[in-house]
Structure 1
């Protein structure tokens, strides 16, 4: 598969990767485990979840940090970042709040600078609240899917907890994914591609996945790019930069469906440090963590904020229609994103 997938085009990853590739950053993947031998991850994957019978965690890890391969257009957001895989599910993929909490704790102990919890649960627990609070206190960026399933409008955890970056999905048609999704009680922080996304899986081959968990992987990868490019930024400052540089619709933010807008990796990485935040930036305490964004329009009207690159979405539809994306996983009856 030599063509660049639509999601990478939409997010302008090539431009972002001219500035940062994620060197020196470790991203914890709390999910079904990560196949350490998966294409694009060999030599950069560690952790206690080195096998992945379900495939969900490996798929997420590939989106975050899959390396470049000759003749393959598919590449992760931060292709030189390291991955620390943690299994927080049973062999069949089920989980609960305490299992996720244990996974977050393990990822932090493993030295993760960013933790992607790419599984979600419909309730919290004392242990999960404590695990997230401890991760935030230790200056770790925690990212998770905003909803627990493709048709769910209920809050998902840990995304609904303070300090966690909740992410919702955008589809190839330029609107919220899935179509007709309802607003959550707590708006997401950001949106990212989560429809017909191509990625790697255990055992080789290409898989297709979707949902908020897939979208969250793009945001976690972007956080890794930012942390690698400017290691002096605190986790809180990284989160505020992601929000402030997102491409958003005009009107009040956070939007019930889009939050602060579509994550923009290149703009997030290229924020320029200054003494005071620029007008429109999301302010935070501490002048050392302030920044401004290179001058260019940051606000788009209505639904076009969901389709920064409408041509990319069109190409994605054509690619799927022509069979450019041929996931081996479909033949096995597996599709990523089944856990949310």
Structure 2
């Protein structure tokens, strides 16, 4: 029996028209919103490979030439074929690691490399993988295969600007496997914020893989740092990033503007690459903590299901990551969002409190002496 909810779509990014040249001017607001340029004084993502689970990346785009490794087709575990380069995957890869060659678009981590793991064909109608059989009948979904391949082939970060409405056991297990290997997983939360369901219920359907535990779910914000109206709102949202009028590269050449949580997720994956470049031993949950604890525009309550803990700040996240390693030196002076504060008191050792034991013992001893004294007095009176 086929499961309709297992259609994995990449319809999380909408191209809204050509971007005016030069593209660097068009993308400056994105770099500023994420505080990227200050982070570049520390690292540009050298030594990190980011797996892009999406449509195949065009390796001939000038911003990506010589910096993309192509993995196998993830839509099947048996047939080997090379999928054609896709619009969506190419756009996401350049947002993460575009080199800026020839005054072109520059990615968040221009020193990083890309591992392209294609599992969608965005030139086909519906922009989707054929429906999969139910979880009981399929050993691994395409996403599960992609996650395991990425973890086994040197990826430190996985970017997933994809989504579907149904969780699968094989994917949960693959997520756990990748996290166990130290791989940071980042995913778009989806564009269901304006659906009838969201309007009626005040929350959006959960999208997977963003909904799996351990995955960094990313919502989209506009130029004012507010949640984009289309961005899904639910508890899978950890942080947010620009997702409106974000310039992206076109397949082969040129640029256009994008809109969606896809772009937001790719940008955060780039920031995760910066952190892993500087602190390669940092565990996935620590990278998530660094991103969330240092975010800008934190909601009044500290967290909400629209923008999570706020908009990612790359330089502040690097500082937060450093604190998590136990180091004291600041990597980006002036970005300390939190004071040093006083250390918490050392927890008391478990078991009885020695002082209370002495007081209790002393009290018992005094009572015993008084009791014995009273007996002596009574005996003396009887003898008289």
TM range (shorter): 0.7 to 0.9
1:129 match: 172
Task: List per-residue Cα deviations over 1:212-236 (Å, max 9, x = no partner).
Answer: 1110001000000011112232222
- How do residues 15-164 of structure 1 correspond to structure 2 at under 5 angstroms? 15-48=38-71, 52-72=84-104, 74-90=105-121, 92=124, 93-95=127-129, 98-147=141-190, 149=192, 151=194, 153-164=204-215
**Residue 175 of structure 1: CA displacement?**
2.0
Task: List per-residue Cα deviations over 1:312-340 (Å, max 9, x = no partner).
Answer: xxxxxxxxxxxxxxxxxxxxxxxxxxxxx
2:269 to 220, 240, 255: 220
* Cα distance between partner residues in 1 of 2:329 and 2:282: 10
Task: List per-residue Cα deviations over 1:39-86 (Å, max 9, x = no partner).
Answer: 2111110022675544101100000000022334x3100001010001
Task: List per-residue Cα deviations over 1:251-305 (Å, max 9, x = no partner).
Answer: 323212111110001111233745xx7xxxxxxxxx7599989665859xxxxxx
Unaligned runs of 5+ in 2: 1-20, 74-81, 133-140, 196-203, 339-384
Quickly say closer, same or farther: Cα 1:52–1:150, change in 2 above 3 A.
Answer: farther
Cα RMSD (Å) of the superposition? 2.6
2:221 match: 170
Quickly say closer, same or farther: Cα 1:55–1:111, change in 2 above 3 A.
Answer: same
Quickly say closer, same or farther: Cα 1:272–1:33, change in 2 above 3 A.
Answer: closer
Aligned length: 285
Quickly say closer, same or farther: Cα 1:243–1:107, change in 2 above 3 A.
Answer: same
8 Å contact 1:22–1:224 — kept in the other structure?
yes
8 Å contact 2:99–2:110 — kept in the other structure?
yes
2:233 match: 183
Alignment TM-score, normalising by the size of structure 1: 0.76
8 Å contact 2:222–2:228 — kept in the other structure?
yes
8 Å contact 1:272–1:294 — kept in the other structure?
no
**Residue 249 of structure 1: CA displacement?**
2.8
**Residue 9 of structure 1: CA displacement?**
2.4
Quickly say closer, same or farther: Cα 1:297–1:235, change in 2 above 3 A.
Answer: closer
**Residue 112 of structure 1: CA displacement?**
0.5
